[in-house]
Structure 1
Amino acid sequence: MSENKTTKAVGDSATAVKDRPLLEVEGLTKHFPIYGGFPFKRQVGAVQAVEGVTLDVFPGESLGLVGESGCGKSTTGRMLTRLLEPTGGTIKYEGRDITHANRRELAPIRSEIQMIFQDPYASLNPRQTVGKIISGPMEINDINPPGGREARVRELLETVGLNPEHYNRFPHEFSGGQRQRIGVARALALEPKLIIADEPVSALDVSIQAQVVNLLQELQRERGIAFVFIAHDLSIVRHFSQRVAVMYLGKLVEIADRDTLYSGPRHPYTHALLSAVPETDIDVQKRERIRLVGDVPSPIMPPSGCRFRTRCWKAQDKCATEEPPLVQLSGNKAGHLTACHFPEDPTIDVGARKEDVVMDPALRSLEKDAKKS
């Protein structure tokens, strides 16, 4: 395994993580073409949604994928399930390259990789009953479980905390949390080995979020399902995931096991994200909030070198000319990869760096001039 590949997961899952990855992703890229011109349209550019993502997912583990809205998390998830065709890179499932596999070649593994969608309202067909929605994957894959499909659907409804008698109801008769549970039941219908959960709780109330996350954790422990848990809420990711990968503008900037990342982030962007996580313990010293200035650059024309440099308080000339590789830095634990030329000091607590609160280089220059005068 190359130096920029992740190592064996570290976590508290009851399922033992094997040495061989279930899913191997290397250099995954997705560009959406932009067309313009009149009267004949031609490609005039591309949205670089995902650029060179490399990660592994091991059997039975949960990998959290976090970052700001628009950073490419959902696009990455859809490529992993092959709902989107990658522009470049490779995706291997159980050692088999499925990057450009056609529909016939993907059929045998479709049942093993499932997805839970973000919107519980838009992801269910309003014209179909719950029974039809959940049994749909079984019909498509010509699977006839013992006792019949209806019995299997009723069993799944009970598994996710719904009444089996809801079999003949329609989606509009359920609340948002109940609809998301229906989506979970549909994903479980084929007994998958891997589930891509694309922000499965972002559209739900806080109390319902906890119920759905606890349900997914219970299913993972009981069935040994691996998860790629996509979210922007770092508190939920910390609760659910064993390893965490941080994305910024289509690129991975840091990967580490949960405890290492949350206690000692090395990338400035990760540090800024963690500083925004609310503290619930009143005995903990209030954390200094890092406010990133400026907007996220356009993925159509991303900055040269390090993509975070336009908002980074540690950026220097090197950051504009050289793209930092995602590697294990000196002092990092095994499996802790960071893409930064000037990483944070892991020995300093996340909330103790008051001097980093001002991020804008122009403001920093003004402060220095004021001190001199």
Structure 2
Amino acid sequence: MSAEQTSLAKKKEPAAAPGRPLLEVEGLTKHFPVMGGFPFKRQVGAVQAVDDVSFTVAEGESLGLVGESGCGKSTTGRLVTRLYEPTAGSIKYLGQDITHASRKELAPIRSEIQMIFQDPYSSLNPRHTVGTIITNPMEINGINPPGGREARVKELLEIVGLNPEHYNRFPHEFSGGQRQRIGVARALALNPKLIIADEPVSALDVSIQAQVVNLLQNLQRELGIAFVFIAHDLSIVRHFSQRVAVMYLGKVVEIADRDSLYERPRHPYTHALLSAAPDADPDNAAAERIRLTGDVPSPLNPPSGCRFRTRCWKAQEKCATEEPVLLQLSGSADGHLTACHFPEDGDAKPATAAKVTDTVPEPRETED
């Protein structure tokens, strides 16, 4: 066992009861007001960033949250951590409703819900040393670990693969991957039960991405931490997450066990995302891609009914008049929920989609 694994094992807590819900999100909604008018400003609209999102995360589980840019993934993460105030819906942590909890009411559980931010360059205060950055959460929460805070910080640096002697260095003296590890160490300082990882590797090189993802997996396995893992890269999400939720224009359109979703996607949007992801298997080099046409609609004025219908090859009149409900379809695995009136069968290729054969590399029109 390595020194890192030994250090983690010392802090391993008793295993949680299997299936016990840690986080329960129901109907979560966030609309940002748009102000206009002269000389007196008034609300003239609202950006529907997140609209009626529901999911659960069990203790020790990892839930991947994927979708195109602007679909509401990061906003959802900030709502869960109460960095944003929800417009509607409910957030329960270990059965306690924290949707509109006051600052005083949130104080006891702040240490149990932490966040790893996307940009390792802007999320660390350049005027503070690494030791100060990681010590601050302990000072704010009045935590005095055995051996002192400095010893705890040096231990955390070692856990995330950094030299404890870097305690007095400043953020500008580290690479991007090292800075992200500092962000991980800061999130671990309070021994959290839930970490919201907002695209923690998107700003890093591929080789560094693998190191950070493996580090997070080791932490989850050894410490029993639950994750909401927000990312664009479908291959990383598949590697890290046990369940995956797919978002489009503020809504969850499909949620399922990792293997079920990747092997049998039921929503056309999920199918399009997976077809656009690179495949390392040379036998699949000539696989057909689904090329979506048009742009993502504005969250200021989303389409009626199904929000994906303006880009969907299966859209019919019903899609414009009736919003699909997230439910389990016949033939789907338990817990595989899809919001679509005309779902894919998963294994078959769509018959009427605009497709292109990948005989030569082409730029992807659909973000993954």
TM-score normalised by length of structure 1 = 0.90
Partner of 1:120: 120
Deviation at 1:346, TM superposition (A): 2.6
Matches within 5 A, 1:331-350: 331-348=331-348
Contact 2:263 2:347 survives alignment (8 Å): no
Residue in 2 that maps onto 1:357: 354
Show the counterpart of 1:216: 216
After superposition, residues 106-255 of structure 1 pair within 5 angstroms as 106-255=106-255
1:16 deviates by 6.8
Deviation string 1:128-157 (CA, Å, 9 cap, x unpaired) is 000000011000000000000000000000
Aligned-pair CA distance for 1:196: 0.1
Q: Distance in 2 between matches of 1:341 and 1:358?
A: 22
- Cα distance in 2 for partners of 1:244, 1:82 equals 22
Is the CA contact (8 Å cut-off) linking 1:309 and 1:315 kept in structure 2? yes
The answer for the alignment partner of 2:5 in structure 1 is none
Q: 1:187 and 1:60 mapped to 2: Cα distance?
A: 16
Kindly, what percent of the aligned residue pairs are identical?
81
Give the 5 Å matches for 1:49-64.
49-64=49-64
Looking at structure 1, the residues matched to 167 and 149 of structure 2 have their Cα atoms a distance apart, in angstroms, of 11
Runs (5+) with no aligned partner, structure 2: 1-13, 357-368
SS state at 2:51 partner: strand
Helix, strand or coil: the match of 1:127? Answer: coil
Q: Spell out, residue by residue over 1:103-148, the C-alpha distance to the aligned partner (whole angstroms, 9 max, x if none).
A: 0000000000000000000000000000000011000000000000
Distance across 1 between alignment mates of 2:327 and 2:276: 26
Hey, what's the Cα distance between the residues in 2 that align with 1:257 and 1:15? 21
> How much has 1:347 moved relative to structure 2?
3.8
Deviation at 1:285, TM superposition (A): 5.3
Cα distance per residue 1:182-236 (max 9 Å; x no partner): 0000000000000000000000000000000000000000000000000011010
**Hey, what does 1:8 align to over in structure 2?**
none
What pairs with 1:295-314 in structure 2 (closer than 5 Å)? 295-314=295-314
- What pairs up with 1:12-51 in 2 under 5 angstroms? 18-51=18-51
Structure 1 residues 94 and 16, CA gap change in structure 2 (3 angstroms):
closer
How far apart are the structure 2 equivalents of 1:263 and 1:117? Answer: 30
Distance, in Å, in 1 between the alignment partners of 2:66 and 2:191 is 26
Report the AA paired with residue 57 of structure 1.
V
On the 8 A contact 1:17/1:58 being kept in 2, the answer is: no
More moved, 297-306 vs 338-347: 338-347
Residues in 1 aligned to 2:167 and 2:280: alpha-carbon distance in whole angstroms: 40
Q: Does 1:258 align with 2:258?
A: yes
The residue number in structure 2 matching 1:103 is 103
For 1:78, give the aligned amino acid.
R
The RMSD of aligned alpha carbons is: 1.4
CA deviation after TM superposition for structure 1 residue 353, in Å: 4.2
TM-score by structure 2 length? 0.91
4+ aligned runs moved over 6 Å, structure 1: 14-17
The whole-number CA distance in structure 2 between the counterparts of 1:240 and 1:290 is 25
Structure 1: segments with no counterpart, 5+ residues: 1-13, 360-373
Equivalenced residues, count: 343
Q: CA deviation at 1:17?
A: 6.5
- Report the Cα distance in structure 2 between the residues aligned to 1:112 and 1:98, rounded to whole angstroms: 13
